[in-house]
Structure 1
Amino acid sequence: MTGWLASVADAAEISLVLPAGPNILDLKDPNAGALGAWDPEDIALVVQDMANMPRRPRLSATIGDQPMRPDAVVPAARRIAGTGVDFVKIGFAPDGAPDRCIDALAPLAAEGAKLIAVLFADLWPGDPCCLPIDRLAAAGFRGVMLDTAGKRQGLRHHWQDDQLGSFVCCARAHRLLTGLAGSLRVADIPALMALSPDYLGFRGALCGGERTAGIDPQAASKVAACVAGLPTATPPPRQPEPVRS
């Protein structure tokens, strides 16, 4: 069953989105880039505050938009892993040395950190065979998410649905959790759920369309209802207007 992830910009937004029942709360600052990081101390406070919450959602947090160098990526990942979040999200771009970064993170994964790789559909070729999925699995990553670095156009603008389906199948074959995100709209949900990813990720759709605006509880409820209730067999037509996420 496909769950959903809600990105929250600060602790105050958590209470606004919790009633909608997200499966993952993603601690990410939309004003600081595609994977803008929270302060580790603030992340640790949320982990502590929610530790005893019955049936709490899992918590993920990003390490920020880091250059593809092991000396930048590994310390940032260790800082976020040290906060106690369930998942540590790490963005990978094809420029620089992504393979060396992946290999350098293997010891952290071996220590028990659940690492989630975020690959950007607008930067990587639209072919899962070109993605380092096998390398991520070999390094002990827990999952891989396909997102967008730019937010003016959505995920389905950059990759066709059959390509996204191949990505999900390839990641699943390597026993990785799978996620799809990047300016997703409510209208995209049925088509993407038909591909059976583990999670769909949202920000802009929870904010009425603008990712740097605050969480709108009614918009969050609409996303939750669509994920929970719409059939997945018949994808809807594409909608022209973009929603930033």
Structure 2
Amino acid sequence: MRLLVSVRNVEEALLAAAGGADFIDLKEPGQGALGGLPIETIRAVVVALRERGITLPISATIGDLPMPDSGAILARVEAVGACGVDYVKVGIERDPGAGAVLFALANCGRPVVPVFIADRGLDQHAVARARTLGFPALMLDTAEKRAGSLFDALGIEVLQGFVFATRKAGMLVGLAGALRATHADALAELAPDFAGFRSAVCRGERSDALDAQCLQELVLSMRFARAPLTRR
């Protein structure tokens, strides 16, 4: 299970890379669950990392755009993808138009990772459709971080099913949503390919600056996490 750390600028990206992150994820945490950064900032982070020989995968969100606005979604995906990121993350809300958006994203020519927002439960039909469309990965996340974590939004059996079926479909699977170091063992039991963090690497609010000590503590917790069923 690899560690995805969300950052908002070059300084945080370099700190995350040096501190043990396996994925660098670009977002503006002060603008919602998948708040988007300015295109200039995304490009600057990519350049800064690559010029220093840092080859970690880089993802970036497009911002919290509503499902009916598919034109804006696709335009933003193209702009973010053109910055040289490895993955473009797009939030997928529980909405009647989600299926059409997923189909368009699968055919847009960019490596899109749909992120299903789990606060109101999963639309299993949309998730199942996404598994047939050849995306490199699927993720779960939550929108209302103060309402609890992903584990509060969805039951463990739902999470297990999401991880199992997504991996069976040949895709990477990621989990995020107000996750903390205290969730390390539960995440180890689920064994996603990567787990995403922002709140856990900040001293106060998730919109505060990334904190090196918090990151170090998280890395250690994840490194030594063990699934409860395998403990001796």
Distance, in Å, in 1 between the alignment partners of 2:106 and 2:152 is 33
Superposition RMSD in Å:
1.9
Conserved? CA contact 1:191–1:234, under 8 Å? no
1:148 to 142, 150, 164: 142
Conserved? CA contact 1:161–1:192, under 8 Å? no
Q: Residue in 2 aligned with 1:241?
A: none
SS in structure 2 at match of 1:116: strand
Conserved? CA contact 1:191–1:235, under 8 Å? no
SS in structure 1 at match of 2:227: coil
Q: Residue in 2 aligned with 1:35?
A: 34
The more displaced of 95-104 and 21-30 is 95-104
How many angstroms does 1:77 deviate by? Answer: 0.9
Change (3 A) 1:63 1:229: same
Conserved? CA contact 1:105–1:139, under 8 Å? no
Conserved? CA contact 1:124–1:131, under 8 Å? no
Q: Residue in 2 aligned with 1:175?
A: 170
How many angstroms does 1:137 deviate by? Answer: 3.1
- Structure 1 moving runs of 4+ over 3 Å: 52-55, 233-236
SS in structure 1 at match of 2:228: coil
Partner AA of 2:144 in structure 1: G
User: Are residues 1:122 and 2:119 paired?
Assistant: yes
How many angstroms does 1:95 deviate by? Answer: 2.2
Partner AA of 1:34 in structure 2: A
Conserved? CA contact 2:121–2:153, under 8 Å? no
SS in structure 1 at match of 2:217: helix
Distance, in Å, in 2 between the alignment partners of 1:155 and 1:137 is 21
Q: Residue in 2 aligned with 1:57?
A: 56
Conserved? CA contact 1:74–1:105, under 8 Å? yes
User: Are residues 1:228 and 2:223 paired?
Assistant: yes
How many angstroms does 1:133 deviate by? Answer: 2.7
Conserved? CA contact 1:93–1:124, under 8 Å? no
Q: Residue in 2 aligned with 1:10?
A: 9
Distance, in Å, in 2 between the alignment partners of 1:96 and 1:83 is 31
Distance, in Å, in 2 between the alignment partners of 1:124 and 1:78 is 29
Between the aligned residues of both structures, percent identity stands at 34
Q: How does 1:187-202 map to 2 (within 5 A)?
A: 187-202=182-197
Partner AA of 2:126 in structure 1: P
SS in structure 2 at match of 1:19: helix
Distance, in Å, in 2 between the alignment partners of 1:44 and 1:234 is 43
How many angstroms does 1:209 deviate by? Answer: 4.6
Q: Residue in 2 aligned with 1:105?
A: 105
Distance, in Å, in 2 between the alignment partners of 1:147 and 1:218 is 24
Q: Structure 1-normalised TM-score?
A: 0.87
Q: Residue in 2 aligned with 1:68?
A: 67
Conserved? CA contact 2:28–2:34, under 8 Å? yes
Question: How many residue pairs align between the two structures?
Answer: 229
2:160 to 148, 159, 165: 165
User: Are residues 1:24 and 2:18 paired?
Assistant: no
User: Are residues 1:214 and 2:213 paired?
Assistant: no
Conserved? CA contact 1:67–1:96, under 8 Å? no
How many angstroms does 1:81 deviate by? Answer: 0.9
SS in structure 2 at match of 1:172: helix
Distance, in Å, in 2 between the alignment partners of 1:16 and 1:131 is 39
The more displaced of 213-222 and 157-166 is 157-166
